[in-house]
Amino acid sequence: MSLLRELLDLNLTETTEKIIAEYIWIGGSGMDMRSKARTLPGPVSDPSKLPKWNYDGSSTGQAPGDNSEVIVHPQAIFKDPFRRGNNILVVCDAYTPAGDPIPTNKRFNAQKIFSHPDVIAEEPWYGIEQEYTLFQRDVPWPLGWPVGGFPGPQGPYYCGTGADKAFGRDIVNSHYKACLYAGINISGINGEVMPGQWEFQVGPAVGITAGDQLWVARYILERITEIAGAVLSFDPKPMQGDWNGAGAHTNYSTKSMRNDGGIEVIKKAIEKLSKKHKEHIAAYGEGNDRRLTGRHETADISSFSWGVANRGASVRVGRETEKDGKGYFEDRRPASNMDPYVVTSMIAETTILWKP
């Protein structure tokens, strides 16, 4: 195994200018991340300089067998924390050979919204709190839970310390450093309320980059859990009963909200969100009805509410924002399995472009 480790750690820059580019795209379920690697003649920093590629869409649930070719377009580049050196991770979106975005390509429409002059002028910032649960590989049970049994009730696990409270910390810390290495603006991590559940935060990130960064952060986490022999779940309610679900709270601000008097812009934006509550809920992740019950720090899925420092509301405004009269708000409705391209662009569209 030591020789295998040495081969994996080979520094290619000592013998060749060639690099390895890992192309990443989203599969047919809308949550499964797929990737494959190719050799390039030298370092690349501009995604527009990268070649397009293709894959077998019939094997990912994205094309029929008799017309299976799907084309991936490189959109963003990150440093590869696994191969290191000049090697890269490439975030791609997917198109038919005729150049049309396939149905699971949510980045295409998001980019159109973020390219609108009114949205560009507002410089929308996002901070996404991605919760997830680590499961044991051989049994469908959370990491650290006794097989067939249950840990003690919630309380000591949130931001907890100790072998009986924090399960999977090596995975979490490895992911944290790998994201920083890759160039992702990961801003923090913490243990969550349910044992075996963790959170990382990406942001602030502007416009479409929020979705790019969150997707590649998810990819890196999936690769690390693969190495560690754990299973990663983004299910919004992984364990039934008196256990917290998993969300992707989305913090948001525009230039107008960040300027003096921004609190009034925030209130108007929240009013717009309230009028499109059903449309947002429908796009905020599968199975969210199991999570948004009005319990476990959530609002009920059927109604919209907001408040200051209220974690039981649909939208929360922080005390500091209220005091300063400007800042940001947090949309607490998105599920952990939401598509960040959909959620971020939808918030921008509703709050900036929509005229009720």
The pLDDT tens digits for 138-177 are: 999 999 999 889 999 999 999 999 999 999 999 999 999 9
- Asked if 231 and 182 count as a contact pair (C-beta separation under 8 A), the reply is no
Q: What is the mean pLDDT of residues 200-215?
A: 98
Backbone angles phi, psi at 82, to 5 degrees: -90, -45
Which pLDDT belongs to residue 59?
97
Q: Report the side by side order of strands in the sheet with 88-95.
A: 33-40, 19-26, 88-95, 69-79, 53-56
As given in the structure block, the two tokens for residue 241 are 């009963």
* pLDDT at residue 114 greater than cutoff 90: yes
As given in the structure block, the two tokens for residue 122 are 């507002």
Domain boundaries, the chain: 3-104, 117-353
Are the folds of 3-104 and 117-353 the same? no
Tell me which H or E stretch contains 193: none
The answer to whether domain 3-104 has CATH 3.10.20.70 is yes
Q: What is the mean pLDDT of residues 47-57?
A: 97
Helix, strand, or coil (residue 277): helix
Question: Shortest CA distance to 25 belongs to which of 267, 219, 226, 259?
Answer: 219
As given in the structure block, the two tokens for residue 336 are 């952990």
Question: Shortest CA distance to 269 belongs to which of 302, 308, 317?
Answer: 317
Question: Shortest CA distance to 245 belongs to which of 301, 197, 205?
Answer: 197
* pLDDT at residue 137 greater than cutoff 80: yes
Number of neighbours of residue 202 by Cβ within 10 angstroms: 28
Fold of 117-353: Creatine Kinase; Chain A, domain 2 (3.30.590)
Question: Shortest CA distance to 142 belongs to which of 280, 235, 30?
Answer: 235
Q: What is the mean pLDDT of residues 10-34?
A: 95
Which pLDDT belongs to residue 17?
96
Which pLDDT belongs to residue 247?
97
Q: Compute CA 169 distance to the chain's CA centroid, rounded to the nearest angstrom.
A: 19
Which pLDDT belongs to residue 1?
65
Its pTM stands at 0.96
As given in the structure block, the two tokens for residue 54 are 């293709």
Helix, strand, or coil (residue 147): coil
Gap between the Cα atoms of 56 and 72, Å rounded = 11
As given in the structure block, the two tokens for residue 163 are 């072998």
The pLDDT tens digits for 321-335 are: 999 999 999 999 999
The pLDDT tens digits for 56-92 are: 999 999 999 888 999 999 999 999 999 999 999 999 9
Alpha helices in the chain (DSSP H): 2-8, 107-114, 117-122, 169-182, 208-228, 255-258, 262-275, 277-283, 319-324, 340-348
Lowest mean pLDDT among 4-13, 175-184, 209-218, 262-271: 4-13
The residues that bridge with 233 in the sheet, in sequence order, are 133
* pLDDT at residue 296 greater than cutoff 90: no
Question: Shortest CA distance to 232 belongs to which of 313, 282, 171, 279?
Answer: 171
Which pLDDT belongs to residue 2?
86
Helix, strand, or coil (residue 65): helix
Q: What is the mean pLDDT of residues 117-122?
A: 98
